[in-house]
């Protein structure tokens, strides 16, 4: 199984190239889209070549999610804690984006390792912003408390007009994913994948992993959620996060894995579908080769003398011929 990286590889490469060519005063204006409809825009003008503007557009939130100023709750505090004075939040952001950050490249650390670590963190702005509410709840779980002013269940956006749900408690946090797929083949493959995913949790090597359950119907923890928010054609996946899963450095990994779980499943479903298609094509090619080998050699057929035809005789005709 392949886990997705938390940082944007294209954004990281863009930042590294910009630092290496800072003295050339090259203008930049890049737009691109990554999985789950997260859009990026990087812009650098020739007038201020050391100032880089990074804009981020998040997936369209459904009605059950709560956004504060166009961002998930806790996102502003998470950005300030992650980047400090190096990054400035522009208010309002660029048109069509939820967030615009102003990065002063002259304020980056001089040490190469520290600078690269900070650039990787900047390239992980998606994780910082979208994972901010989840991080707040899981931090309180590590101290075995519940975050104040938190509802009985919390809806967090992770795909356009789709959300997953958290049920925070002092001793555990229950995370429920309604799994939705547009293609019918993807739905069948995802259902089989998720059932095997649940069974693999029972192996000895994964005994410390969070408990995982799959069901065709919504779990009881989501009683009271609207039917539209719980529409799922591939069932529901439930994880139970315990304090030991968010201790120390495990917190960042848990936040990222939960935030991108649907993309993780979708990636492996598409890989499985592509693998089966390649196997089917190879099988068809082998059958075609077998059929071609079974065809008679036409050149040898032309060289042979004309074949004679025979008429099958019945018993009466054979007696007549013998008597004559």
CATH number at residue 58: 3.30.1460.20
Domains: count for the chain: 1
Beta strand 87-89 pairing with 67-68 = unpaired
39 burial type by CB count under 10 A (0-12 exposed, 13-18 middle, 19+ buried)? middle
* Helices and strands in the chain: count of H runs, count of E runs: 10, 12
Residue 89 lies in a domain: yes
How many angstroms separate the CA atoms of 226 and 217, rounded? 14
Residue 282 lies in a domain: no
Residue 108 lies in a domain: yes
How many angstroms separate the CA atoms of 167 and 154, rounded? 7
pLDDT digits (tens, 9 = 90+) for 167-211: 999 899 999 999 999 888 889 989 988 888 888 777 767 778 888
Residue 317 lies in a domain: no
pLDDT band per the 50, 70, 90 thresholds, residue 80 = very high
CA atoms within 13 Å, Cβ hemisphere of 193: 21
Asked if residues 256 and 246 have their Cβ atoms less than 8 Å apart, the reply is no
Asked if residues 46 and 28 have their Cβ atoms less than 8 Å apart, the reply is no
Asked if residues 78 and 68 have their Cβ atoms less than 8 Å apart, the reply is no
Residue 21 lies in a domain: yes
pLDDT band per the 50, 70, 90 thresholds, residue 323 = low
With the CA atoms of 70, 76, 82 and 84 taken in that order, what torsion angle do they form, in degrees rounded to the nearest 10? 120
Residue 296 lies in a domain: no
pLDDT digits (tens, 9 = 90+) for 229-238: 888 889 999 9
Residue 168 lies in a domain: yes
**pLDDT of 296:** 72
How many angstroms separate the CA atoms of 166 and 177, rounded? 9
Is pLDDT larger for residue 315 or for residue 131?
A: 131
Residue 320 lies in a domain: no
Q: Tell me: cis bond preceding 92? Omega within 30 of 0 counts.
A: yes
Asked if residues 174 and 258 have their Cβ atoms less than 8 Å apart, the reply is no
Across the chain, what does the average pLDDT equal? 86
Range of the domain at 162: 9-273
**pLDDT of 226:** 84
**pLDDT of 297:** 63
**pLDDT of 31:** 94
How many angstroms separate the CA atoms of 315 and 193, rounded? 67
DSSP string, 32-52: EEEGGGEEEEEEE-SSSTTEE
pLDDT digits (tens, 9 = 90+) for 31-66: 999 988 899 999 998 888 889 999 999 998 888 888
Which are the contacts of 180, defined by CB distance < 8 A and separation ≥ 6?
162, 231, 232, 233, 234
**pLDDT of 141:** 92
């Amino acid at each position: 199984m392949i886990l997705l990286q938390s940082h944007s590889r294209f954004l990281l490469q863009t930042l590294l190239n910009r630092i290496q060519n800072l003295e050339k005063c090259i203008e930049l204006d890049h737009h691109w889209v990554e999985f789950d409809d997260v859009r990026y825009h990087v812009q650098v003008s020739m007038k201020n070549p050391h100032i880089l503007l990074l804009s981020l557009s998040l997936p369209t939130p459904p009605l059950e999610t709560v956004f504060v100023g166009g961002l998930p709750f806790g996102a502003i505090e998470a950005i300030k804690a992650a980047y400090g004075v190096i990054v400035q939040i522009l208010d309002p952001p660029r048109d069509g984006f939820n967030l615009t950050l102003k990065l002063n490249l002259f304020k980056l650390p001089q040490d190469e390792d520290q600078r690269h670590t900070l650039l990787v963190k900047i390239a992980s702005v998606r994780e910082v912003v979208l994972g901010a509410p989840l991080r707040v709840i899981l931090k309180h779980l590590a101290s075995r408390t519940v975050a104040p002013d938190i509802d009985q269940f919390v809806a967090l956006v992770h795909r356009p007009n789709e959300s997953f749900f958290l049920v925070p408690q002092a001793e555990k946090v229950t995370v429920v994913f309604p799994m939705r797929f547009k293609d019918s083949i993807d739905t069948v493959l995802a259902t089989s994948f998720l059932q095997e995913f649940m069974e693999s949790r029972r192996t000895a090597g994964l005994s410390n992993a969070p408990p995982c359950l799959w069901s065709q119907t919504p779990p009881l923890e989501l009683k009271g959620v609207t039917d539209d928010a719980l529409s799922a054609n591939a069932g529901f996946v439930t994880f139970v996060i315990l304090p030991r899963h968010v201790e120390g450095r495990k917190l960042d990994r848990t936040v990222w894995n939960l935030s991108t779980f649907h993309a993780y499943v979708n990636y492996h479903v598409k890989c499985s579908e592509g693998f089966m298609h390649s196997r089917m094509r190879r099988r068809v090619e082998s059958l075609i080769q077998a059929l071609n080998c079974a065809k008679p050699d036409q050149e040898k057929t032309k060289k042979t003398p004309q074949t004679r035809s025979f008429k099958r005789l019945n018993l009466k005709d054979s007696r007549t011929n013998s008597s004559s």
